[in-house]
Amino acid sequence: MLRLRVCLLPVVALLVAACATRIADLPRSDGDVSAGKAIAFQRKSLAPTDSGRLALAEDLQPGDILLSAAPGVTSFGIRLLTTSPVSHAALYVGDGEVAEALGGGVRLRRIDAMLAEESVVAAFRNPALPEDGARGVSRFARDKVGKPYDYVGVMMHAPFALQRRVCELPGVPTFLRETCLSTFATLQLIHGGDDRFFCSQFVVEAYRAAGFPLTRARPHWVSPEDIMHMRAGDVSSLPVEQPLMYVGHLKFAPLALGLPGVSVPLPGSVPRVQTGPVGQ
């Protein structure tokens, strides 16, 4: 038992230390010609730096990306493995419906049903997506309803989620990190084909098919955590074509793993959500 604990220590340390960084420009003040550079760190919290916002279902637009987490053991395992506050990604396709890839395959779900079943739901938007692009994303998502789930692809992400942390250690230059991740993904991740999807792959593939790719990385490389880090102001481990805009939290409830007599909270996952409308 002691040997097992000693062997696990480097793995735990790597997971904790893995936090992608990049060199960013400091904000300029009046009269300051050069504000200099600083190291920007990847943000593990789902809330933005200026606290969260409360959003309503009516605030959503077709093409919006919904990142969420559920109270179950499966969701907890994904969040623990990826050190992320989210475990699922879905698309809002209009008319109060959400398209998503789950264990039973691609399906449509009412937004009110999603809010009832998930503990945390936050919305993100591609601000450069035009109306015809949003229709293209929604059309792709609806056309794929009934397609099977990519079990092989998502299972391959488990070892990849651990090994990729080597590429994401603080101080690793952006080019080297992206090259490292691309190499690991090419060697380890299997593409199940264009007729089966897991959740984040489905979201990224819909944008790619509509002609507005979120990233140059292949869709089956992308996890819900990767999509979260594509938001504006964050540090993405993958190359981002268009940073996402945070719309707001549609729902938030403290997340914990329920065990007999034990409650294990998820540190860093609690946003400060304002009670006013979006934009306030």
Q: Point out the least confidently predicted range of 92-106, 166-180, 242-256.
A: 242-256
Q: What pLDDT, on the 0 to 100 scale, is given for residue 280?
A: 35
To the query of whether residue 229 is one of the catalytic residues in this protein, the response is: no
> For all residues of the chain together, what is the average pLDDT?
81
Q: ∠149-244-203 over CA atoms, to 5°?
A: 10
Q: What is the mean pLDDT of residues 225-250?
A: 94
Q: What is the mean pLDDT of residues 67-88?
A: 77
Catalytic hit among 88, 157, 199, 229: 199
27 in Cβ contact with 215 (< 8 Å):
no
Task: Give the DSSP per-residue string, the chain.
Answer: -HHHHHHHHHHHHHHHH---EEEEEPPPPTT-S---EEEEE---SSS-TT-B-B--GGG--TT-EEEEE-SSHHHHHHHHHHT-S--EEEEEEETTEEEEEETTEEEEEEHHHHHHH-SEEEEEE-TT--HHHHHHHHHHHHHTTTPPB-HHHHHHHHHHHHHGGGTTSTT--HHHHHHHHHHHHHHH-----TT-B-HHHHHHHHHHHTT--SBSS-GGG--HHHHHTTBTTS--SS-BSSPBEEEEEEE----EEEETTEEEE-TT----B-SS-TT-
To the query of whether residue 249 is one of the catalytic residues in this protein, the response is: yes
Q: What pLDDT, on the 0 to 100 scale, is given for residue 53?
A: 87
Q: What percent of the chain has pLDDT over 90?
A: 49
Q: What pLDDT, on the 0 to 100 scale, is given for residue 25?
A: 59
Interval 11-39: pLDDT, tens: 444 444 467 776 665 556 555 555 666 77
Catalytic hit among 88, 220, 229, 249: 249
Q: What pLDDT, on the 0 to 100 scale, is given for residue 189?
A: 87
pTM over 0.75: yes
